[in-house]
Chain A
């Protein structure tokens, strides 16, 4: 079973920041938080991951609460191409399988 809870859907206006929440209240100390997205008819794409510190890359920022029980993925300037299903996943280490939940369907509105 997936160890995360996400809202099933969200809308965001084009050009605005999209903030996608994820709850992972049972996360263990050695589990990372990963975010992937799946654009229609494509394979999932890695976005970002973190353990306890906030992370930023060219795609997004990941904010993890101090107790690590929740996190937020931020797409700073959403475009229409960011419309996708976003998956928040917790995982111990590289080499383990990713267990995908139902994700959040993000729709960017023109």
Chain B
């Protein structure tokens, strides 16, 4: 499709399990972002990729959270040993890199994670 694609759209897991969330950005976009949004809260920045490298991972809340991006395209956000406070909607966005176009971020519909 033409937009940012995220999977799964919904994930229910038990506390202590690991989860992987996937983001497929818009073709040609070199910048990729992960955010999360807890119920009723604002958007919290997690990590930003430029190509396959992550110049800003300042928002990752703990070492249980990691992300990678391969081939300058698909990204995976991994949460190890999930906790109930990890329950949130995890949003991915992509954009052109600096110097191009408007810098507009295109967001996916998110992956809703529920940790029981």
A residues apposed to B, CB below 8 Å: 32, 34, 36, 38, 42-46, 49, 91, 93-103
Give bound CA distance, A103 to B43, whole Å. Answer: 10
Choose among B102, B104, B110 the residue with the greatest number of A CB atoms under 10 Å from its CB: B104
B18 within 8 A of A: no
User: B100 touches which one: A43, A45, A91, A94 (CB < 8 A)?
Assistant: A94
Supposing A97-B33, A97-B48 touch, asked if A103 and B103 sit within 8 A by C-beta, the answer is no
Complex: chain A residue closest to B43, CB-CB: A100
B65 within 8 A of A: no
User: A95 touches which one: B43, B93, B95, B108 (CB < 8 A)?
Assistant: B95
Choose among B56, B102, B110 the residue with the greatest number of A CB atoms under 10 Å from its CB: B102
Residues in B with CB closer than 8 Å to A91 are: 103
Contact call A98/B105, Cβ cutoff below 8 A = yes
Contact call B102/A100, Cβ cutoff below 8 A = no
Residues in B with CB closer than 8 Å to A49 are: 102-104
Give bound CA distance, A95 to B96, whole Å. Answer: 7
Bitwise, B75-108 to A at CB < 8 A (1) or not (0) is 0000000000000000101011111111111111
Give bound CA distance, A14 to B16, whole Å. Answer: 48
User: B42 touches which one: A93, A97, A100 (CB < 8 A)?
Assistant: A100
Q: List 5 A-B contacts (CB under 8 A).
A: A32-B103, A36-B105, A44-B91, A95-B95, A97-B59
Residues in A with CB closer than 8 Å to B68 are: none
Contact call B42/A46, Cβ cutoff below 8 A = no
Contact call A43/B98, Cβ cutoff below 8 A = no
Bitwise, B20-44 to A at CB < 8 A (1) or not (0) is 0000000000010101000000110
Contact call A45/B95, Cβ cutoff below 8 A = no
Contact call B50/A95, Cβ cutoff below 8 A = yes
Contact call A94/B42, Cβ cutoff below 8 A = no
Residues in A with CB closer than 8 Å to B97 are: 94-95
